[in-house]
Amino acid sequence: MNYSTKARPIDEHPLLGAARQHPSRPAVQFGELTLTYSDLYLKSKQIAVDLSQRGVQKGQLIALGDLQTMEIIVSVWACILGGFIAFPLNVRFPESSLAQILTNIKPSLIISNSSYPNHSSVIFGELITDASQLGSIDLPRYDAGKAASLLMTSGSSGDIKFVQHSHHNHIESAKGSNQNIELNASDSWLLSLPLYHVGGLSILYRTGLTGAALIIPEEKNSMLEVIDKYGITHISLVATQFQRLLNDEQGPMILQGMKAILLGGSAISTTLIQKALDHHLPIHVSYGSTEMASQITTTARHNRKSALENSGKVLPGRDLIISHEGEILTKGETLAQGYLLNSNLIELRDDDGWFHTRDVGYTNVQGELTVTGRMDNQFISGGENVQPEHIERLLCNIPGILSAIVIPKKDDEFGARPVAFLEINQEVPDGREISQQLSSHLPGYMLPIAYYELPPELTKDSLKISRKELTRLTHSGNKHLHSL
């Protein structure tokens, strides 16, 4: 199969190509501030040159700390221009966690507006090179095969891994996405996901390859107000974000004017998908991973109803098979270079080149993928296998429940019993009534023995809630857990 697109060849730096083809088109916009692709290239080149003059060598790691979103975007492109590896930090982590991460990763430099003791750092505003000198300074030759980024990811256990991607990985991911979801220079994509998340970083490459605009949301406006104000055409959302937009009275009407709504990050309830279809919204449901540089499969424009049952077909540049155990295995042009551990790159492929996702699923005769859960999450109750995600999907079909996470609680008689944590946005039935609704779909051993509200501190600004942390709260007998 030919995976080529109308995008520029990958032997040219994507930002340089965009600046040549779309010099006056808006590249990034935040409120009244707009950077054209020519502006963005110049600012990024200034910083790339400054970093080189500070002694940062090609291939070295640069962490991006407490910065404004516009500053992170410019810094990421600067790292790509200078041949450095960009490592956007999740600054919402506790200071102690960030300190440990930086100690383990050992970046050559941290760009931030805050200080990081025991690490070499520089304030973003100090990275200014005289633009008049840039014409005489040569940047390193762009090499798409070299490392471009380091991103943190965590599985269901909550353990952090550091995934290293090449430019080629990100570009092939963007090309495959743009083939399935049309994007051109007249379009705009809202940056609704953080840049330390692969779903956010991938938007930079998608827009950069096509000359589309990247819009940074303003805190003073709601997401719907930003979409309406700027005429946003494309957006990436996790299920909770999408649910909140649809619950707004003006939400469906505003979203109807968009070209594409890309949904991913976690399982999405059929109730939510059906509601989107009823409003004729341009949804695309996807399955992806950090290791595969975002999307692996995504539903197509011409078959939106398939989102009720699956996550679509494999995108160009990726391969996928189901193992004998039901595990989803992937590989392809978007698969990361490896995990960074103690300054060494650890292989993430098996002997045949496949990455084991630890997700469980199946494909139909059309090649469309249905994900049923995580191998890591499955547990045994009274000798029976329990897949938490199956219970979670049914819980999310109950009005008022935005999201659900089911974990095992130790039990002397059964070994383990399911317990459910729910994020709710309105009054919902009590635990007894919820179990009664579930009982027509589930056997008794799969009915949760307790229902709790998800602690607000775990849902705020979080794209992936740690099951490990919920298990700790449950077993510690935390008195602050609110039962339903």
Burial class (CB in 10 A: 0-12, 13-18, 19+), 340: buried
Instruction: Please give the structure tokens belonging to residue 410.
Output: 């130790």
Instruction: Please give the structure tokens belonging to residue 479.
Output: 């008195």
Q: What is the dihedral of CA 156, 328, 265, 386, to 10 degrees?
A: -50
CATH number of the domain at 379-475, please? 3.30.300.30
CB-based contact 134:49 (threshold 8 Å): yes
CB atoms within 10 A of CB 256: 11
pLDDT at res. 140 = 81
Instruction: Please give the structure tokens belonging to residue 288.
Output: 């992806």
Instruction: Give bridge partners of residue 480 from the DSSP assignment.
Output: none
Instruction: Please give the structure tokens belonging to residue 386.
Output: 């329990």
pLDDT at res. 9 = 44
Write out the chain's pLDDT in tens, 484 residues.
333 334 444 467 889 999 999 999 999 999 999 999 999 999 999 999 999 989 999 999 999 999 999 999 999 999 999 999 999 999 988 888 899 999 999 999 999 998 888 899 999 999 876 656 555 567 788 889 999 999 998 754 457 899 999 999 999 999 999 999 999 999 999 999 999 999 999 999 999 999 999 999 998 889 999 999 999 999 999 988 998 999 999 999 999 999 999 999 777 888 889 999 999 999 999 999 999 999 999 999 988 899 999 999 999 999 999 999 999 999 999 999 999 998 899 999 999 999 999 999 999 999 999 998 888 888 999 888 888 988 998 998 888 888 889 999 998 888 999 999 998 877 888 889 999 999 999 999 999 999 998 887 665 555 566 787 788 777 766 555 667 7
- Where are the domains positioned within the chain? 379-475
* Nearest in space to 395 (alpha carbons), one of 360, 426, 359, 423: 423
CB-based contact 286:262 (threshold 8 Å): yes
Which residue has tokens 């049914």?
Answer: 394
CA separation for the pair 394, 387 (Å, rounded): 12
Number of H helices, E strands in the chain: 14, 26
Residue positions counted in the chain: 484
CB atoms within 10 A of CB 116: 18
CA distances from 134 to 203, 239, 281 (A): 28, 45, 46
In angstroms, how far is the first alpha carbon of the chain from the final one? 52
CA distances from 372 to 59, 84, 362, 389 (A): 39, 38, 8, 7
CA separation for the pair 214, 141 (Å, rounded): 26
pLDDT at res. 129 = 61
CA separation for the pair 37, 20 (Å, rounded): 8
CA separation for the pair 28, 76 (Å, rounded): 13
